[in-house]
């Protein structure tokens, strides 16, 4: 059984508007206009690997999800980067329950005026936690991770719903 400790509620919708309401958080506004990204996935925790979850298979599912949401995945180093990181927290408990945190960070090139230079830094972060027990299937885990991937696009959809200028 999956328990959602933290996260956004996902729903479909239009994404990546060119103009976005100025009353939204800067973190969300920074995502406006993104239609192409580079995708990186950090090494998976051993407990997920033991369940048969493969990084390459997870990547294929993420690429498919992003492309269905209107975001093309490419390899160009200059593209905004979706960085996906999964980490186990706590130890396996006696009942077989283990927790995970997932973070999707969107890295982009920005100008830091104080330093007078351009940098490639995370401009938006989306995090969530999941509990998994022995009855949790690998597919349930993947579905939850994909739901979180959609949250980046959903944030933009919600921004669009709040009004474009």
The dihedral region occupied by 13, where left means phi > 0, alpha psi between -120 and 50, and beta the remainder, is left
Give the single-character DSSP code of 73. E
159 burial (CB, 10 Å; 0-12 / 13-18 / 19+) is buried
- Record the pTM: 0.74
Q: Are 145 and 42 in contact (CB under 8 A)?
A: no
The more confident residue out of 126 and 107 is 107
Which pLDDT value is given to residue 76? 95
Q: In degrees rounded to 5, what are phi and psi of residue 58?
A: -65, -40
The pairing of beta strand 117-132 with beta strand 72-73: unpaired
**pLDDT exceeds cutoff 80 at 13:** no
pLDDT (mean) for 77-92:
85
pLDDT range class, residue 49, cuts 50, 70, 90: confident
Domain with 84, as residue range(s), is 3-161
> Where is 112: in which H helix or E strand?
strand 98-112
Query: Residue 164: pLDDT band by 50, 70, 90 thresholds?
Result: very low
What 3-state DSSP class applies to 157?
A: helix
Average pLDDT for residues 19-27, to the nearest whole number?
69
Flag whether pLDDT at 5 surpasses 80.
no
Which three-class secondary structure state does DSSP give residue 63?
helix
pLDDT of 53 strictly over 50: yes
Answer whether residue 162 shows pLDDT above 60.
no
The neighbouring-strand residues paired with 21 are none
User: Chain-wide mean pLDDT for the chain?
Assistant: 76
pLDDT at 7 over 50: no
pLDDT of residue 160: 52
- Give me the number of domains the chain comprises: 1
Residue 51 and residue 89: Cα distance in Å, rounded? 17
131, with CB counted inside 10 A (0-12, 13-18, 19+), is: middle
- Quick one: pLDDT at residue 69? 82
- Tell me what pLDDT residue 152 has: 67
């Amino acid at each position: 059984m999956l328990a959602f400790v933290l996260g956004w509620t996902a729903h479909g919708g239009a994404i990546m508007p060119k103009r976005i309401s100025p009353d939204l958080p800067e973190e969300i506004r920074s995502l406006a206009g993104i239609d192409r990204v580079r995708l990186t996935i950090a090494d998976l925790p051993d407990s997920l690997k033991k369940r048969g979850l493969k990084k390459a298979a997870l990547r294929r599912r993420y690429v498919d999800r992003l492309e269905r949401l209107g975001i093309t995945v490419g390899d160009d180093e200059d593209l905004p980067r979706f960085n996906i990181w999964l980490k186990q927290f706590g130890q396996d408990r006696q009942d077989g329950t283990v927790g995970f945190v997932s973070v999707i960070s969107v890295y982009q090139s920005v100008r830091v005026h104080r330093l007078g230079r351009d940098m490639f830094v995370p401009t938006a972060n989306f995090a969530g936690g999941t509990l998994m027990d022995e009855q949790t299937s690998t597919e349930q885990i993947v579905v939850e991770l994909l739901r979180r991937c959609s949250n980046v696009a959903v944030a933009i959809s919600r921004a669009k719903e709040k009004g474009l200028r």
